[in-house]
Each structure stands twice: as C-alpha cells, then as structure tokens.
Amino acid sequence: MAYIFLVIFAIVNGYFFTNTFFLFGQSDFRVLFDIVPLVYLFFIPAVSMGLIARENNLGTMETMSTMPINTYEFVVGKFLAAFSLILLGLVATSIHLFTLISVGTNVDYGAIFSGYLGLALMGGTYAAIGTYASSVTENQVVAFIIGVFIVLVFFMLDKILVFVPHSIA
C-alpha cells in the first residue's frame, strides 16, 4: 500500500504543478503548497487507517502485548512509520524544485524551506490524528472516516475564520 500511496501522491502533485508551470507560465511553489494540504486530507487518513485497527482486527494485538515493548513504543513506532512515508512523499516532490532551478528562475529558498517544513509538520499532525482514529476502532473504514472527519475540522478552521467576529478571531 505504501508504494501505491507514493505513486498516487506524486502523480496528483505532479499534475497540479505541471499545469501551473507549463499552462500558466508561473514558476512558483504556491500551487504545490496550496494543493498538498487538500491531498493530505484524504491520503494521510488512508495511510494511517490500518496502523492499529488492522492489528486489532486480525487479533495480533494480543501477540504484540506479549512482546518486550511498551504500548507507547508500539504506538510511536506505528506513527513514525506513517510519518516517514509522508516525508518520503514530500521528498519526491522536491523534483519540482530542481525543475525550477534548471529553468533558471529566481527561487526563494527560505519560502520553499518553510513551506516544506509546514507540510512536514502538517503531515505529522494528520498522521497522529490518523493513528488515534485507527486506535479507537477495529474497522479500517471507520478509522478512515473518523480520520477524515477530524482532519477536515482542522483543515476548515482557517476557512471559517472569515465568519467569526474579529473580536473572537
């Protein structure tokens, strides 16, 4: 499943980057940094839906409890597995940076680095949410739905601030 995630993630991000780059003639990363959170909305809960739910469903959680590891080590290991897959997907998008450099455009490395850092932190947060959603149920589909719902709430927070009075926001 990890390979499928990486291939689809690269195809979706490559599609939006090349559309902006070649069709509109814009050589910036704003589109990539705008579209990746939307892609994360579905991909990260899909990656993390089976982390713990699969163990519960197959009955291997009892076997894992007899191993000489603590529960938090098990959960952190599952989280780090999902997070490393997300980081690998982000590293795959760095080919777009090399495309911009080879064309000879002025590249703001600080903005790109901070954008990638933000995407990595967002991916870690969403992976933690997906790990939690996977731990509260034995069904992977239910874990996916719970994960998407919670991630959607966080995704929509900045969108609904327009409707909140300025004294509260």
The string of pLDDT tens digits covering residues 7-65 is 888 888 888 877 777 776 666 778 788 888 999 999 999 999 988 888 888 878 778 77
Instruction: Check: CB of residue 86 under 8 Å from CB of residue 47.
Output: yes
Locate tokens 């009955």: which residue?
Answer: 59
- In the predicted model, is pLDDT for residue 76 greater than 70? yes
Can you say whether the dihedral through the CA atoms of 121, 125, 166, 164 is positive or negative? positive
Among 44, 32, 115, which Cα is nearest to 81's?
44
pLDDT confidence bin for 169, thresholds 50/70/90: low
- Which comes out higher in pLDDT, residue 45 or 1? 45
The confidence score (pLDDT) of residue 30 equals 81
The confidence score (pLDDT) of residue 81 equals 94
Helices (H), the chain: 2-18, 30-48, 53-58, 61-65, 71-92, 95-103, 109-135, 140-160
From CA 83, how far away is CA 77, in angstroms rounded? 10
C-alpha dist (Å) from residue 95 to 16, 48, 63, 108, 116: 14, 25, 42, 16, 13
Mean pLDDT of the chain: 87
- In the predicted model, is pLDDT for residue 72 greater than 80? yes
Percent of the chain with pLDDT over 70: 96
- Which comes out higher in pLDDT, residue 130 or 24? 130
From CA 87, how far away is CA 98, in angstroms rounded? 18
Percent of the chain with pLDDT over 90: 39
- The residues spanned by each domain of the chain are 2-163
pLDDT digits (tens, 9 = 90+) for 77-100: 999 999 999 999 999 888 888 887
